[in-house]
A and B are shown apart, each in its own frame.
Chain A
Amino acid sequence: MNLAEMQRDFQSWLVAASSDAASRLSIGSSAGLNVYQNNYRVQLIDCLEASYPNVRTWLGEESFLAAAVAHIDRHPPHAWTLDAYGDNFDDTLALPYPDNPDVHELARIEFALARAFVAPDGDVLTPEALAHVDWDTARLRLVPSLEILSATTNAADIWSALQQNDALPESEMLAEPAGVIVWRQQFTVYLNTVDLLEYAALLQLQTNGSFAGLCDILVERLGEEEGIAKAGALLMNWISKEWLVAAAA
C-alpha cells in the first residue's frame, strides 16, 4: 500500500468508520484508530459549538448535538481552516427542522457574524469625503465585512436576546419580509434589521455600486422627490454605521 492509498483508507475510517479500510491499514490493535476517530469527531463538534453558541442555546444541548453529528456525517471538512467548517450548517438544520425558518435564519446570522469578525479591514467613507464626490458617476462600495441576509422571522431579535441573556421572544414570522445586515465596526460585530426597501437598495448597491442607479430604484418606488430624499437619508445612515468604504468617481 502506498502513502496515498493509506491516507484514503484513513479518511474512510475517520469519515465512515469503514472496517475494510481499517483492516487494510496494517496497524494491529484498533484502539489507536478509535482514538483518531474520536479526536476527529470531537474536534468538529467543538468547532460547531464554538461557531453557533446561540443556535445551541436555542435548540438545546441534545438537539444541537444531534444536528452536529448529522452535519459531520454529511459534510466532511475540506478547507484548511476550521473557521470554514460551520458553512452550510443552516442546510443541515433544515433537515430536522424543515418548518422552522427561525432556526435556519438564526444559524445564517450567527455564521455571518463569525465571518464578519475576521473579514478584511476597509477604509470607511467619512462624511467629509462626500464634498469631493461627483454624484452622477459615484460608485459606492460596501465594507468587506458587511453581509446582506434575507429575513422572514424575528431571528435577529432572538439572536440579540440570546447574546445579551435577555428574556427570549417567541419566534414569529415578520409581517413582511425584511433584511438583516451584519457588519463589523473596528473590532465589534453588529447586526441590524432593515425594511424591504432598504434591503433592496443595499442589494442594488452591492451589485453595481452606482449611486445614480440607487436613486433610480428609489425614484421608481417612491417618486422623484421622495426617492431622492430617501437616497440621501439612506446614504447618511449607512455612512454613520460605517457600511461604506471610500467612493471612487
Chain B
Amino acid sequence: MSTSLPRFAGYGLGLRRDHYRDFLETNVSVDFVEVISENFMVEGGQPRHILRQVRERHPVALHGVSMSIGSADGLKPEYLRKLKSLADEIEPLFVSDHLSWSRIDHFNSHDLLPVPYTEEALNIVCANISQAQDILGRALLFENPSSYIAFGDSVMTEWEFLDAMSKRTGCGLLLDVNNIYVSATNHGFDAQAYLRGIPADRVRQIHLAGHTQGEELLIDTHDMPVRDDVWALYAQAIALTGPVATMIERDGNIPPLTDLLDELAIARRIGDNHARTRRAVAA
C-alpha cells in the first residue's frame, strides 16, 4: 500500500444539496469540492449520477463520517468495500474520515465520539487505519475532532496522539482549524501549542467552519460563518504547513453559494498573503 500523499494547494467548498444546481449548471470558481462519502455510497440513482457530473468539472475529495477508526472491535468490511468502490470510480484527491468512533458491537451512534488518548487506543486506531489503507490501497487523511469531554485516562495530548498515529501508519492529516479552536476553548489547552505539536508535513487538507456558543461549551455546529479567531488560527496554521487544500465546511443554515465563495475568498487572501511573505523572506 502506497503511503505517498499527493499535495494539492487549492481552495474548495463542501458540495451540499442546496448548491447542486449551481455546480452542475455554472462554472463555480473553486479548485476542488469535497463531498460526504456516505451520501454517495449508494447502489444507484441520482446521487451517484450527480457526483459523476460534478467530477467531470472539479477534482473531488471524499470525506467520510462512518469509518469509526476508534472502534475497539474493528472496522466493518462492508463499509470499506463500498467506500473503495466509490473511490475507485471517482478517483478522488483525498479520502478522509475522523479520529473518532461511532460504532461498537451492533450500535452505531452516527456521531463522531471522542477517543481517550491512551496507548491502547493508539494501538487500536493504528491497526484500524492500517486495515482501511490496505483495503482502499491508498493513504488516508484523518481529521482532528471537536470534543466536549476529556478522558481522565488520557496519557498524551491530542496532537501527540495525531503525531504518533500518522508516523506509525503513514496516514495524512486533515486539520480542522475550527475544531482546534473549539476543543482548545472547551478544554483550556493552548491552540498554538497544538499547531506546533502536529506533524505539519503530514497535513494535506484544512477545514474551516463556524461554531456556536452553547450553555457551557463551544459547539461545532457548521451553521455559521467562520469566526475571526478561527481565521487568525488559520493564518498561523498555514505558516506551519505551507499551502494545502483549504475549504469551507457548511452543513446548516446553508446560505447562497455566493456567500460561501466570499468566505472562501478570505481564505485565498490569507493564503496569498502568506505566500508573498514566504517569497519575501526567501528573496
- Quote the shortest CB–CB distance from A75 to chain B (angstroms): 11
Question: How many residues on B have C-beta within 8 angstroms of the other chain's C-beta atoms?
Answer: 47
The reply to whether the CB of B49 lies closer than 8 angstroms to some CB of chain A is: yes
**Interchain residue pairs A-B with the least CB separation, the first 4:** A32-B148, A32-B149, A4-B72, A121-B44
The reply to whether the CB of A3 lies closer than 8 angstroms to some CB of chain B is: yes
Given A1-B153, A11-B107, A81-B38: A36 and B45 within 8 A (CB)? Answer: no
Which residues of chain B from 99 to 144 have any CB-CB distance to chain A below 8 Å in the complex?
101, 103-111, 113, 115-116, 118, 120-121, 124
Given A77-B108, A119-B45: A3 and B121 within 8 A (CB)? Answer: yes
Q: Is the CB of A27 within 8 A of B46?
A: no
B109 touches which of A3, A14, A120 (Cβ 8 Å)? A14
The reply to whether the CB of B186 lies closer than 8 angstroms to some CB of chain A is: yes
Q: Is the CB of A43 within 8 A of B45?
A: no
What chain A residues lie within 8 Å of B43 (beta carbons)? 118-121, 144
What chain B residues lie within 8 Å of A15 (beta carbons)? 107
Docked CA distance A184–B148 (Å)? 43
The reply to whether the CB of B73 lies closer than 8 angstroms to some CB of chain A is: yes
Interface residue tally of chain A, by bracket?
35 or more
- Quote the shortest CB–CB distance from B225 to chain A (angstroms): 21
- Quote the shortest CB–CB distance from B31 to chain A (angstroms): 28
- Quote the shortest CB–CB distance from A212 to chain B (angstroms): 30
Given A1-B153, A32-B186: A184 and B45 within 8 A (CB)? Answer: yes
Binary per-residue interface labels of chain A (76-109) against chain B in the complex, 1 for a CB within 8 Å, 0 otherwise? 1111111101000000000000000000000000
The reply to whether the CB of A243 lies closer than 8 angstroms to some CB of chain B is: no
Q: Is the CB of A28 within 8 A of B152?
A: yes
Docked CA distance A5–B70 (Å)? 13
A80 touches which of B47, B73, B79, B216 (Cβ 8 Å)? B79
Q: Which residue of A lies closest to B108 (CB)?
A: A77
Docked CA distance A118–B49 (Å)? 11
Q: Is the CB of A25 within 8 A of B108?
A: no
Q: Is the CB of A187 within 8 A of B107?
A: no
The reply to whether the CB of B246 lies closer than 8 angstroms to some CB of chain A is: no
Which residues of chain B from 166 to 198 have any CB-CB distance to chain A below 8 Å in the complex?
186
Q: Which residue of A lies closest to B215 (CB)?
A: A31
- Quote the shortest CB–CB distance from B89 to chain A (angstroms): 13
- Quote the shortest CB–CB distance from B217 to chain A (angstroms): 6
Q: Which residue of B lies closest to A15 (CB)?
A: B107
The reply to whether the CB of A10 lies closer than 8 angstroms to some CB of chain B is: yes
Docked CA distance A76–B107 (Å)? 7
Given A28-B150, A119-B44: A80 and B109 within 8 A (CB)? Answer: no
Q: Is the CB of A118 within 8 A of B214?
A: no
What chain B residues lie within 8 Å of A31 (beta carbons)? 148, 215-217
Given A26-B152, A81-B66: A8 and B104 within 8 A (CB)? Answer: yes
Q: 27 A-B Cβ contacts within 8 A?
A: A6-B151, A10-B104, A10-B113, A11-B104, A11-B105, A14-B109, A15-B107, A27-B152, A33-B149, A35-B217, A35-B219, A36-B111, A36-B149, A43-B110, A44-B110, A47-B110, A80-B66, A80-B103, A83-B42, A85-B110, A116-B45, A118-B43, A118-B45, A119-B45, A121-B43, A121-B45, A187-B49
Docked CA distance A147–B106 (Å)? 27
What chain A residues lie within 8 Å of B219 (beta carbons)? 35
- Quote the shortest CB–CB distance from A20 to chain B (angstroms): 17
What chain B residues lie within 8 Å of A77 (beta carbons)? 107-110
- Quote the shortest CB–CB distance from B14 to chain A (angstroms): 17
What chain A residues lie within 8 Å of B106 (beta carbons)? 78
Docked CA distance A40–B118 (Å)? 25
What chain B residues lie within 8 Å of A171 (beta carbons)? none
